[in-house]
Structure 1
Amino acid sequence: MILLSFFDIGLVVLILGIGAATIAVREAFAAAIAFVVYGLLMAIAWVRLAAVDVALTEAAIGGGMTGLLMLGAAARQRFSKGNGIPTSLPTRLAAGVLCALIAAGLATAILLPPEVTPTLAPTVMENLAQTGLGNPVAGVLFVYRALDTLLEKVVLLLALLGVWSLAPDSVWGGIPGLRVYAQRNTTLTFLAQLLPPVGIVVAIYMCWVGANEPGGAFQGGTVLAAMWLLVMIAGLESVPSISQPWLRLLLVVGPVIFLAIGLAGLVWANAFLAYPSGYAKPMIVAVEAALTLSIGVALGLLAAGPPERARHQ
């Protein structure tokens, strides 16, 4: 217990230190790297708080994919002409005040909690057996808040369309360059040959086990995206053009199947996104499998960025 206490204290100090460094550092690329480290430390903190689902999401999305997007943005800023328009002092002050207000609100919520913490956890656990699921997080996401989960996947597609819209009209439907990540060497090639088979198995496992244990579509999809990006960055496979029919099919297959099962609930269970008795778990697993593919492709294309060259080139 004493060692764990020292570990927790050291972890908190590291998180605060890396968080302060992320804010204080002046170079965007260094700040992005510090952000990735911060996300990984937060994942360890969530594990220590026994929130493994949150830890997996933080490591995959917060520190992993979001960090990769920030590194790509910082690299693109380096490649762009000039240093851009400097941020004005009023804008920086406004951002600082807003961050301080958010921090104060979070501190108030943590340090001054209500006497009786409102929670629906007992209700979820009482009714979880009816779904056939063993993971209460999956039960909440796909049963009690299924509409929110569906809309989150649609928002991911809208974000990708927003990235694609940054491309000039002349290269619309073309091929993302991934040039900001182009650091090819023998070590990268070796990793791109070694890791993907293992990563694909891990992604499938995380998707499959998500019904009963920590894991799920987002975590599995993020691992798939990372393996796909690794292969493309190493140059083992070319980046596909965004106009490829198979690519767009994979992007929408998850939300479409989710929506189709939701509409079928109107006939089978008299409610949208409701599941017939005894069939909830297989339907949810089918949705998660389809969403894993869609999320993996969407995150990979988000990291790749907008098209930079025409399809015929």
Structure 2
Amino acid sequence: MNAVAILGLLTDLVLAVSVLMLSIWIVLTPDRLRAVVGFLANGILIALVWMRLGAPDVALTEAIIGGGLVTLLLLGASARVPPESARNAFADRDRWPLHLLAALLAAVVAVGLALVVLNLPEPAPSLASAVATELPATAVDNPVTAVLMAFRAVDTLFETVVLVVALIAFWSLIPEGAWFQRAGWLPLREPAPALVLLGRVLPPFGILTAVHLFWIGTTLPGGKFQAGALLAAIWALVLIAGLSQPMAAAQRLPRLLVVMGPTVFFAVGLAGFWLAGDFLAYPSGLEKPLILIIEAVLMLSVAAALGLILAGLPPAPGSLEQRR
């Protein structure tokens, strides 16, 4: 074994131990702010694990979702939970059977996954060769994008529809009479000066990075979902810092942005009957331009849907939160 292989093995070992120990610490620590910061660090470490496993697209998604959007969501929630509630939750000794059951179920899942991985056949079953053979027909060099937008485009279409349905289900919780009210959950009443500074400095860089991730998605790791999630995270940061106001659910612009992606995707699919003889079939020579158009509008739809969910629900008319 050469020095490079030994260094790689040590890196994998350090990452595995760090993720395991940090996960245990996040669960056990009684300080919710430290737990959120630990969750952010854990998301970054898991992204590095995916990079070591040779899955850069998954690593980008984990870094943005696990290390970005979910952390913002947890940070906003932790800032609004009274300290007494957190202390009482950890001091409640009557819940230890539930905690023990959760730990046992997690252990069973972990052992099951380990057994599956250790018992995989050699070589592992894969469709990579078939994808590589058909990749030139899509005019897309990134196999992940080709699979999502060509080989299983129907599944991807329905996944975008599911995101719209999730937002509709979330909005069904809006109190009666509050549809024209702006959501007040995410913005902090007194954001720290450092947070305000980040909210002013980071958005231009975040938008440029999102556009870059979208544009290279057809040739390199990246794409619509990673770019849309990054845009949603930047939008959430601006809202938390109090530099902008959330959109009301009754406004037309957010609704238009959310449904625009699946609508364009479905329209291109229907046009495939006329242009290429089948649903979601791309005519020869127009594969890459059509995929870029679909990905562009889907990026905006993903950003809008995730951002609106992160913004939370508007307060009920006459509630204490609305009076504040």
User: TM-score, normalized by length of structure 1?
Assistant: 0.89
Selected match of 1:21 from 21, 25, 29: 25
Contact 2:43 2:66 in 1 (8 A): yes
- CA RMSD in angstroms comes to 2.6
Q: Given the superposition, is the C-alpha separation of residues 173 and 106 from structure 1 closer, same or farther in structure 2, using an over 3 Å criterion? A: farther
Selected match of 1:193 from 186, 200, 216: 200
- Identity percentage of aligned residues: 44
Contact 1:72 1:303 in 2 (8 A): no
Question: What is residue 75 of structure 2 aligned with on the other side?
Answer: 71
**Secondary structure, in 3 states, of the residue corresponding to 1:308?**
coil
**CA shift at 1:250, angstroms?**
0.7
Contact 2:47 2:60 in 1 (8 A): yes
Selected match of 2:125 from 118, 134, 141: 118
State the AA in 2 paired with 1:151.
Answer: F
Selected match of 2:310 from 300, 303, 313: 303
Question: What is residue 151 of structure 1 aligned with on the other side?
Answer: 158
Question: What is residue 253 of structure 1 aligned with on the other side?
Answer: 260
Counterpart Cα distance in 2 of 1:79 and 1:244: 36
Question: What is residue 266 of structure 1 aligned with on the other side?
Answer: 273
Selected match of 1:221 from 224, 228, 233: 228
Question: What is residue 129 of structure 1 aligned with on the other side?
Answer: 136
Selected match of 2:49 from 26, 45, 48: 45
**Secondary structure, in 3 states, of the residue corresponding to 1:225?**
helix
Contact 1:178 1:233 in 2 (8 A): no
Selected match of 1:171 from 167, 178, 191: 178
Q: Kindly report structure 1 stretches of 4+ aligned residues shifted beyond 6 Å.
A: 79-84
**Secondary structure, in 3 states, of the residue corresponding to 2:218?**
coil
- Tell whether 2:111 aligns with 1:104: yes
Deviations 1:93-152 (A, max 9, x none): 543343233212211111111233111000001100000001000011111111221222
* Corresponding residue pairs, total: 312
Counterpart Cα distance in 2 of 1:94 and 1:17: 20
Q: Which runs of 5+ in 2 are unaligned?
A: none
Question: What is residue 291 of structure 1 aligned with on the other side?
Answer: 298
Deviations 1:248-290 (A, max 9, x none): 1011111111111112122222222221122111111101100
Deviations 1:183-205 (A, max 9, x none): 42332222222211111111111
State the AA in 2 paired with 1:262.
Answer: G
Q: Given the superposition, is the C-alpha separation of residues 309 and 196 from structure 1 closer, same or farther in structure 2, using an over 3 Å criterion? A: farther
Counterpart Cα distance in 1 of 2:208 and 2:44: 22
Contact 2:186 2:236 in 1 (8 A): no
**CA shift at 1:291, angstroms?**
0.7
Contact 2:184 2:311 in 1 (8 A): yes
Q: How does 1:230-241 map to 2 (within 5 A)?
A: 230-241=237-248
State the AA in 1 paired with 2:224.
Answer: A
Counterpart Cα distance in 2 of 1:76 and 1:273: 46
Q: Which runs of 5+ in 1 are unaligned?
A: none
**Secondary structure, in 3 states, of the residue corresponding to 2:62?**
helix
Deviations 1:215-236 (A, max 9, x none): 0011111111122122222222
Q: Given the superposition, is the C-alpha separation of residues 18 and 180 from structure 1 closer, same or farther in structure 2, using an over 3 Å criterion? A: farther
Contact 1:131 1:278 in 2 (8 A): no
User: TM-score, normalized by length of structure 2?
Assistant: 0.87
**CA shift at 1:58, angstroms?**
0.8
Q: Given the superposition, is the C-alpha separation of residues 136 and 306 from structure 1 closer, same or farther in structure 2, using an over 3 Å criterion? A: same
